[in-house]
């Protein structure tokens, strides 16, 4: 059975781009008769805000989504909040250390940026130059991998070579993590597991078979496949859906107007209008059609999704907040 998930971070309001990804992930699971999991990714403790998790879940329910497992409904793979799953990440770090793949890194971002071999900075910062990669972690010293603040991060050694996969929307993709990011962080200096490690461990533990998420995470996929192989975990299928952009070409955000689910709800916009509007932006509904997510299940198909981002103008948002849909 297909098992999908949506994994928001409780750091702020759910904007329309988040909502559309959640809707598409839900539709993918429901259209295949599968289970849908809600997982909260709250490891970035400095940005997490009290009460946001509950608000996000309430707004997604208002939109018309439901889930079979999650922090508020429980399930066989609890807990569904990442900050409560640290022991699982520590165990994965031990496995990486036993394979000779884990090393301590004391480099700061400034050190990496100033390294002679570091290329110009890209979307995820400059490529790590390998300065500390010979400082392998001794797996017989558990304290080196235990949760807690330290003066070093832990990185995984990455060997050159392309990692290829077939994405459900983007088609055949290949990335070479060694060339693009180099050895990457799997545990931060504050002791928290890094995103790349946590998402791999949790998807495997929760039996996730299909990962539907935004195209901004496409380049992360090769690193996650690399970790799956190193940890001998199953590799899920990936479906990267296009982003929603504002008229300025930047990812849709508050600066583009009232585009959060909460603001639309408080303004009295019906949830069926919002879900219909979101569906219309990716060809699953007619412009202006008001329809609940349940009514979209029979229409859903990955082949209908475009690889190109969706540009949303202020006129589109005005129609959403008023009487019409996009178009």
Looking at residue 257, what is its pLDDT?
61
Angle between helices 195-205 and 86-98 (to 10 degrees): 100
The active-site residue out of 91, 254, 283, 318 is: 254
At 189-214, the pLDDT tens digits run 999 999 999 999 999 999 999 999 99
Query: How far, rounded to the nearest angstrom, does the alpha carbon of residue 216 sit from its chain's CA centroid?
Result: 9
Rounded Cα distance between 39 and 53, Å, is 10
- The full DSSP string for 96-129 is HHHTT-EEEE---HHHHHH-TT--S-BTTBSPP-
Instruction: Enter the CATH code of domain 3-81+242-321.
Output: 3.40.50.620
Rounded Cα distance between 84 and 55, Å, is 19
Rounded Cα distance between 42 and 61, Å, is 20
Please indicate whether residue 254 is annotated as part of the active site: yes
Contact by Cβ (8 Å): 17, 23: no
Looking at residue 35, what is its pLDDT?
98
In the chain, CATH 3.40.50.620 covers: 3-81+242-321, 85-198
Which residue, 281, 229, 218, 249, is CA-closest to 24?
281
Lowest mean pLDDT among 137-141, 237-241, 298-302: 137-141
Over range 42-55, report the average pLDDT: 94
Give the right CATH number for 85-198 from 3.40.50.620, 3.40.50.880, 3.40.50.720, 3.40.190.290.
3.40.50.620
Angle between helices 271-280 and 16-31 (to 10 degrees): 80
Lowest mean pLDDT among 9-18, 71-80, 101-110, 139-148: 139-148
Which residue, 162, 326, 209, is CA-closest to 259?
326
Which residue, 257, 255, 252, is CA-closest to 321?
257
Contact by Cβ (8 Å): 254, 237: no
Q: Which residues pair with 173 in a beta bridge?
A: 165
Q: Quick one: DSSP state of residue 192?
A: P
At 272-291, the pLDDT tens digits run 999 999 999 999 999 999 99
Model confidence at 56: pLDDT above 60: yes
Rounded Cα distance between 172 and 177, Å, is 16
At 254-277, the pLDDT tens digits run 666 657 999 999 999 999 999 999
Assign 126 a pLDDT band (cuts: 50, 70, 90): confident
User: What pTM does this model have?
Assistant: 0.93
Residue 187: count of CB within 10 angstroms of its CB:
29
Model confidence at 167: pLDDT above 60: yes
Assign 123 a pLDDT band (cuts: 50, 70, 90): low
Residues 6+ apart with CB under 8 A from 222: 163, 165, 174, 175, 176, 177
Rounded Cα distance between 237 and 313, Å, is 32
């Amino acid at each position: 059975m297909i098992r999908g998930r949506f994994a928001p971070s409780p750091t702020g309001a759910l904007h329309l781009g988040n909502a559309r990804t959640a809707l598409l992930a839900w539709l993918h699971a429901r259209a295949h008769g599968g289970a849908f999991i809600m997982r909260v990714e709250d490891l970035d403790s400095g940005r997490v805000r009290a009460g946001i998790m509950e608000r996000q879940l309430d707004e997604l329910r208002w939109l018309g989504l439901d889930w079979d497992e999650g922090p508020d409904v429980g399930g066989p793979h609890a807990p569904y909040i990442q900050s409560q799953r640290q022991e699982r990440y520590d165990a994965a770090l031990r496995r990486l250390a036993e394979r000779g793949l884990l090393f301590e890194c004391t480099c700061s971002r400034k050190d990496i940026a100033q390294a002679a071999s570091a290329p110009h900075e890209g979307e995820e910062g400059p490529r790590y130059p390998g300065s500390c990669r010979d400082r392998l972690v001794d797996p017989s010293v558990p304290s080196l991998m235990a949760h807690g603040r330290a003066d070093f991060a832990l990185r995984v050694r990455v060997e050159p070579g392309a990692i290829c996969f077939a994405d459900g929307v983007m088609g055949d993709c290949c990335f070479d993590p060694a060339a693009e990011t180099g050895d990457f962080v799997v545990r931060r200096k504050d002791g928290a597991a890094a995103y790349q490690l946590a998402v791999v461990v949790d998807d495997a533990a929760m039996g996730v078979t299909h990962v539907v998420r935004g195209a901004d995470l496409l380049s992360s996929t090769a690193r996650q496949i690399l970790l799956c192989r190193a940890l001998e975990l199953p590799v899920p299928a990936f479906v990267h859906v296009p982003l929603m952009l504002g008229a300025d070409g930047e990812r849709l955000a508050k600066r583009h107007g009232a585009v959060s689910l909460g603001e639309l709800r408080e303004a009295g916009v019906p949830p069926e209008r919002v879900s219909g509007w979101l569906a219309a932006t990716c060809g699953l509904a007619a412009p202006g059609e008001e329809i609940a997510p349940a009514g979209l299940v029979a229409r859903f198909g990955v082949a209908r999704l475009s690889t190109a981002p969706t540009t949303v103008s202020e006129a589109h948002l005005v129609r959403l907040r008023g009487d019409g849909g996009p178009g």
